[in-house]
Amino acid sequence: MKTTLLRSAVISSGILLTGTLAPDLASAQSGYGADNNPQQTERKINQGKGRSDEAKEKGREKGDQMRGSPEDARERADEEQERARERREEEQERARERGEEEAERGREQREEEAERAREQEQAERASSQEENSNRMNENRKADPASKGSEQGQAQKQEKSRAWWNFWGD
């Protein structure tokens, strides 16, 4: 489509620029003038055809130049394949990086969750130790024998004797 359009544009511009066919047609239609000689008209038509052929050839050369040679076409195809391969590699690299980032985020989240669980467990242990400590304090207050004083030791021994006496009989 482009080449036929280009050729027809070159031909028509060549004919119009030379002006060979336009005067001949006008004089042939009017039937008078110096150009009424058939040989001269034939010569001008041949001149116009020659110029038209030159314009066609120039148009072909221009089109070939724009399209490039087959070697250029192969080079462009190779370059396009190389660019496509590079784009694929870049996309794969980006996908790999995204995967690594997601894996890293997952690891960080798991570590944070484990840290929170450890902190919560430590807090629970501390509260249970506090409760045990409170119980121990309450038990010590209730039983003077556990205080370690002489009076407490004496009470402890009395209870022990009473216990053994009860069961020993």
What is the CB neighbour count within 10 angstroms for residue 157? 11
pLDDT at 85: 95
For 79-125, the pLDDT digits (tens) are 999 999 999 999 999 999 999 999 999 999 999 999 999 999 998 88
State mean pLDDT over 142-165. Answer: 73
CB atoms within 10 A of CB 140: 14
Other Cβ atoms closer than 10 A to 35: 15
Q: How far apart are CA 75 and CA 31, in angstroms?
A: 59
pLDDT digit string (tens) for 61-76? 887 777 766 777 788 8
In sequence order, the 6+-apart residues with CB closer than 8 A to the CB of 34 are 27
Output the average pLDDT for the chain.
77
Joined together, the tokens standing for residue 153 give: 């030791």
> Over pLDDT 90: what percentage of the chain?
25
Q: What is the pLDDT of residue 144?
A: 53
> Per residue in 20-41, pLDDT tens?
544 544 454 554 444 567 888 8
State the pLDDT at residue 108. 95
pTM of the model: 0.33
If one compares 95 and 18, the residue with the highest pLDDT of the two is 95
